[in-house]
Homo-oligomer: A and B are copies of this chain.
Amino acid sequence: MPLVVQPQSMHFQAPLALASGAHLADYQLAYETYGQLNADKSNAVLICHALNASHHVAGVYADQPDSAGWWDNMVGPGKPVDTDRFFVIGINNLGSCFGSTGPMHRNPASGEVYGADFPVLTVEDWVASQARLLDALGVGVLAAVMGGSLGGMQALSWALQFPQRARHVVAIASAPNLSAENIAFNEVARRAIVTDPDFHGGHFYRFGTVPRRGLRIARMIGHITYLSDDVMNAKFGRELRHAVESAGKSGYRYTTQDIEFQIESYLRHQGDKFSQYFDANTYLLITRALDYFDPARAFGSDLTAAFARAQAKFLLVSFSTDWRFPPARSREIVTALLENRRHVSYAEIDAPHGHDAFLLDDPCYLAAVRTYFNGIAGEAGA
């Protein structure tokens, strides 16, 4: 019996002050909740999403059996984050393109679609907006805040912005900031979008165009960095598409523009799919929020100093073949927390799937999260 869910939306009229100095005067957040808030409101868990996910974390929509949430293997009845025990909240981040206010919406001040004029956001801005939604839901203190990748950065930022409002922070496949290489990949993806003639400086909505070429390239680059070299070799290797393989002796067709290798076919498919549903300005905003995240920056790059104000208990998880946010990056956070004598658990999972592993069904990984949340449930009386 699948969990049937429905999205909700909340409107905020008090202006939100952003890190950039700008304000967002008026906005709405799309969100979903699963499970029930208990009487003493001690069992709420906030799930933060990464680049292309949304508030639809778990369950399916009525009459849409293929609409499972992006972390449905992690969150739900009897799942590691058990919605029979926890009240789980998923929120679509501001600036995203799945229901919360973003570049595709109308700027109430001008009456025009925001496009490239949507204010630049940071991880800290998202956390501030999430806190307001929790206020409205009557959730004062979270049993836990949890996320993977960019979602993990938001979870970490909760511990720094609202030290008293999250008892546990679970940051999976995350990092204390982006490396130069991480920024470099983001920048190439952004250039592909921005230099697409259909982008029109970010005001493509007015022109009735979509910079699909750029979005495709951006997604292809992203996909490469989500997968490990090993899993790509195991899944695709140097396999040719069947139509090519049967063509001749060597199998090659000798063409520079057509698909010959399976990996090419896979990447083009991912790029095409993504370019049909994702907003180009959102892509720029979210990758920039990734670039900017750097809680140690204000402390002379001293991560230990940055985490001095954290009060939560932490679970960090990393994956051996994740070369986007390798285990060494999680260990930096673990070290900073230990140097502050914080309570921290750390699981380094030996998994072949690269960064994507945080979304997959690795038994060790899911067991580690389940065990940790069992402990939280005990504390929370959930």
Q: A178-B238, A179-B232, A235-B180 are in contact. Are A298 and B216 (CB under 8 A)?
A: no
Q: For chain A residues 94-117, which have a beta carbon within 8 Å of chain B?
A: 116
- The reply to whether the CB of A162 lies closer than 8 angstroms to some CB of chain B is no
Copies of this subunit: 2
A237 contact set on B, CB distance < 8 A: 179-180
- The reply to whether the CB of A352 lies closer than 8 angstroms to some CB of chain B is no
Q: When the two chains form their complex, are residues A180 and B233 in contact, meaning their CB atoms are under 8 A apart? A: yes
- The reply to whether the CB of A285 lies closer than 8 angstroms to some CB of chain B is yes
A195 contact set on B, CB distance < 8 A: 213, 216-217
- The reply to whether the CB of A263 lies closer than 8 angstroms to some CB of chain B is yes
A250 contact set on B, CB distance < 8 A: 19, 297-298
Q: A250-B298, A267-B184 are in contact. Are A216 and B191 (CB under 8 A)?
A: yes
Q: When the two chains form their complex, are residues B236 and A217 in contact, meaning their CB atoms are under 8 A apart? A: no
- The reply to whether the CB of A134 lies closer than 8 angstroms to some CB of chain B is no
Partner of A181, one of B232, B251, B264: B232
Partner of A187, one of B179, B202, B267: B267
- The reply to whether the CB of A277 lies closer than 8 angstroms to some CB of chain B is no
- The reply to whether the CB of A344 lies closer than 8 angstroms to some CB of chain B is no
Q: Which of A40-48, A145-153, A287-295, A311-319 is the interface stretch?
A: A287-295
The A interface is mostly helix, strand or loop, or mixed, namely helix
Q: When the two chains form their complex, are residues B187 and A238 in contact, meaning their CB atoms are under 8 A apart? A: no
- The reply to whether the CB of A256 lies closer than 8 angstroms to some CB of chain B is yes
A264 contact set on B, CB distance < 8 A: 183-184, 187
Q: When the two chains form their complex, are residues B120 and A254 in contact, meaning their CB atoms are under 8 A apart? A: yes
Instruction: From A188, A233, A251, name the one whose CB has the most chain B CB atoms within 10 angstroms.
Output: A188
Q: A183-B263, A233-B179, A285-B256 are in contact. Are A188 and B220 (CB under 8 A)?
A: yes
Q: When the two chains form their complex, are residues A194 and B257 in contact, meaning their CB atoms are under 8 A apart? A: yes
Q: When the two chains form their complex, are residues A238 and B294 in contact, meaning their CB atoms are under 8 A apart? A: yes
Q: When the two chains form their complex, are residues A188 and B267 in contact, meaning their CB atoms are under 8 A apart? A: yes
- The reply to whether the CB of A20 lies closer than 8 angstroms to some CB of chain B is yes
* Pairs A-B, 7 closest by C-beta atoms: A20-B254, A256-B284, A180-B232, A120-B254, A195-B213, A180-B236, A188-B220
Q: A19-B250, A188-B221, A188-B267 are in contact. List 5 more A-B contacts (CB 8 A).
A: A177-B238, A180-B237, A184-B224, A256-B288, A323-B323
Question: What are 25 A-B interface contacts by the 8 Å CB criterion?
Answer: A19-B250, A19-B254, A20-B254, A120-B256, A179-B229, A180-B229, A180-B261, A180-B263, A181-B233, A183-B263, A183-B264, A184-B220, A184-B223, A184-B232, A184-B263, A184-B267, A188-B217, A190-B256, A191-B271, A195-B213, A196-B213, A201-B257, A202-B257, A217-B217, A256-B285
